[in-house]
């Protein structure tokens, strides 16, 4: 099994799950960058939080790495591009701390409105300063939410319970969706000019770094108060400090900073400012969720299975409709590779209900199955497209919601061959329904044999006898019908691989055109 290097504190429940699966969990906390370069050698997986920097150098040293798991949401400390280039999957736990972060935002919102930390500090220091720390009510105030993702929506829901009016800026949310949430969507300048309080819930990207700066603050409503429980660097701290000192901004509450950890900021010491040391995800519940989730994701990645929270896969999250087809797509790719011949293009078609969904993850799964059979290196959802590019294989997709013979159908064609499969019944059982334009109906198993033969009596008996005499049990079998109605193909599912010498014996039989062991 795999060696998993863990460099920061992770909930034991998640680590125990990995140990129970047979993996070796190597916990080495507090490593220096130099020590990490040594420790990563031979590791198949790396689990971190926010303090470990996974640089291109670290990834280069980890030649056996399959996956890097971040127990949390942010990936500022992981060189995802370098990981993708090396075929290393990067996974996180994006839903583990959303509730904790939303609740911490509300805590800071209330603390900022009522000056709770300042009043507490004064009182425990021996000063009764009741009049100095008079606050404001949240009711009837306007809250501007920048970013209506998972956390932003949770904050908006909670703010409504306080009687606040909601406006939001998010260019990726439609006005219709905003109306359904009772939130008015506006541009950023309008939001800043209108809101009494602003809360930030956006990722740290080149577009959002320095989003709140001297220029944008100058457009803000006088007395505005700003909360940031998202990422440090979205606010230019020196510009915010200047705006607070001038009286234009009424106050701020920050949980995140440009440089972390830190004990210095131009905002520290200002009486209008409330700060916490990145506590947004620091609840027992969030830590447990993050540990459990990242353990599950790393386990799936090491098993070569679909990983829902892989961040460097084009379609990281498959819909509930698409997800059941992932094993089928991977099996079709593997079976197609077994049909033989040089492949310079793969045409993948999706028909029926799945044709109306994002099927990119199915294509990745199919490529993973194809290259796992033809490549001598580990294949994942991440490096499968790169392998296709390196080998000059053109991959094209087409989708249609029109169903013909099946409710859903996945077909792959290329270099004179084709194969198709579907799911049938209440349990969604996989079925191979076409091989090289011959209709069949057989479960796609680990060991299959495709025999093309002259359409004449006795061929089925000959094939069955030869395979049976070799001690290979035939679990299932179907005779493929061509469009003309001629039976010129047999597809067998066998309980064990058919030995090469048995395939050679079959090929020598008069009337058998070809034999492919899939």
Domains of the chain (ranges; CATH) run: 3-94+285-302 (3.40.50.720), 98-275 (3.40.50.720), 323-517 (3.30.1330.90)
The whole-angstrom separation of Cα 515 and Cα 309 is: 41
pLDDT attached to residue 315: 45
Q: What is the pLDDT of residues 350-404, one digit of tens each?
A: 999 899 888 888 998 899 888 877 765 557 677 788 778 877 889 999 999 888 8
Tell me the HSE value of 407 on the side-chain side, using a 13 A CA sphere. Answer: 10
Cα dihedral: 138, 143, 145, 149 (round 10): 50
Q: How do strand 487-494 and strand 448-453 relate by DSSP bridges?
A: antiparallel
- Please identify which residue in the block is written with the tokens 């959802």: 381
- CA-closest candidate to residue 143, choices 216, 219, 224: 224
pLDDT attached to residue 316: 41
CB distance 387 to 337 below 8 Å: no
Q: Which residues are catalytic?
A: 231, 260, 278
The helix-helix angle for 500-507 and 459-469 (nearest 10°) equals 150
Question: Phi/psi of residue 410, each to 5°?
Answer: -115, 125
Q: Quick check: helix, strand or coil at residue 413?
A: strand
Low-confidence ranges of the chain (pLDDT < 50): 315-316
Q: Where in 109-194 does DSSP place strands (E)?
A: 142-146, 165-169, 184-185
The whole-angstrom separation of Cα 275 and Cα 335 is: 58
The radius of gyration of the chain from alpha carbons, rounded to an integer in Å, stands at 30
pLDDT attached to residue 375: 66
pTM, rounded to two decimals: 0.61
pLDDT attached to residue 46: 97
- Cβ-Cβ contacts under 8 Å for 272 (sequence gap 6 or more): 244, 249, 250, 251, 252
279, 364, 449, 511 from 327: Cα distances, Å: 40, 11, 20, 35
């Amino acid at each position: 099994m795999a060696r998993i290097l863990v460099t920061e504190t992770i909930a034991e429940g998640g680590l125990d799950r990995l140990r129970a699966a047979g993996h070796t969990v190597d916990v080495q906390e507090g490593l220096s960058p130099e020590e990490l370069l040594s420790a990563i050698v031979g590791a198949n997986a790396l689990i971190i939080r926010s303090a470990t920097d996974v640089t291109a150098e670290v990834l280069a040293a980890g030649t056996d790495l399959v996956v890097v798991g971040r127990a949390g949401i942010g990936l500022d400390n992981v060189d995802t591009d370098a990981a993708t280039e090396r075929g290393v999957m990067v996974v996180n736990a994006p839903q583990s701390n959303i509730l904790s972060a939303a609740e911490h935002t509300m805590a800071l919102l209330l603390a900022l409105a009522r000056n709770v930390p300042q009043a507490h500090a004064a009182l425990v220091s021996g000063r009764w300063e009741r009049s100095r720390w008079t606050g404001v009510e949240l009711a009837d105030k306007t809250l501007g939410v920048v970013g209506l993702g998972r956390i932003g929506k949770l904050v908006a829901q909670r703010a409504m319970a306080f009687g606040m009016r909601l406006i939001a800026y998010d260019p990726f949310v439609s006005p219709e969706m905003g109306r359904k949430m009772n939130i008015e969507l506006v541009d950023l300048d309008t939001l800043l000019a209108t809101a009494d309080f602003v809360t930030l819930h956006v990722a740290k990207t080149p577009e959002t770094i320095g989003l709140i700066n001297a220029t944008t603050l100058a457009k803000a409503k006088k007395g505005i108060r700003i909360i940031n429980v998202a990422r440090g660097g979205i606010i230019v701290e020196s510009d915010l400090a200047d705006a607070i000192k001038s009286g234009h901004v009424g106050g701020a509450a920050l949980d995140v900073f440009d440089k972390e950890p830190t004990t210095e900021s131009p905002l520290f010491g200002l009486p209008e400012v409330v700060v916490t040391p990145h506590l947004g995800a620091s609840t027992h519940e969030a830590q447990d969720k993050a540990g459990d989730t990242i353990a599950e994701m790393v386990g799936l990645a090491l098993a070569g299975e679909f990983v829902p929270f892989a961040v460097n896969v084009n379609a990281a999250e498959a819909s509930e409709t698409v997800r059941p087809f992932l094993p089928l797509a991977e099996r079709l790719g593997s079976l197609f590779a077994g049909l033989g011949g040089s492949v310079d293009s793969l045409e993948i078609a999706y028909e029926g209900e799945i044709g109306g969904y994002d099927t990119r993850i199915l294509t990745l799964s199919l490529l993973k199955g194809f290259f796992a059979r033809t490549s001598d290196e580990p294949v994942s959802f991440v490096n499968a497209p790169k392998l296709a590019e390196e080998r000059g294989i053109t991959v094209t997709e087409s989708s249609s919601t029109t169903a013909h013979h099946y409710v859903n159908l996945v077909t792959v064609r290329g270099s004179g061959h084709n194969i198709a499969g579907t799911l049938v019944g209440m349990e969604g059982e996989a079925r191979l329904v076409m091989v090289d334009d011959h209709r069949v109906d057989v479960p796609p198993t680990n060991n299959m044999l495709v025999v093309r033969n002259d359409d004449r009596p006795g061929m089925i008996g000959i094939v069955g006898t030869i395979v049976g005499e070799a001690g290979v049990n035939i679990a299932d079998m179907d005779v493929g019908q061509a469009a003309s109605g001629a039976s010129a193909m047999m597809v067998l599912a066998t309980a064990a691989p058919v030995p090469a010498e048995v395939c050679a014996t079959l090929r020598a039989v008069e009337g058998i055109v070809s034999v492919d062991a899939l």
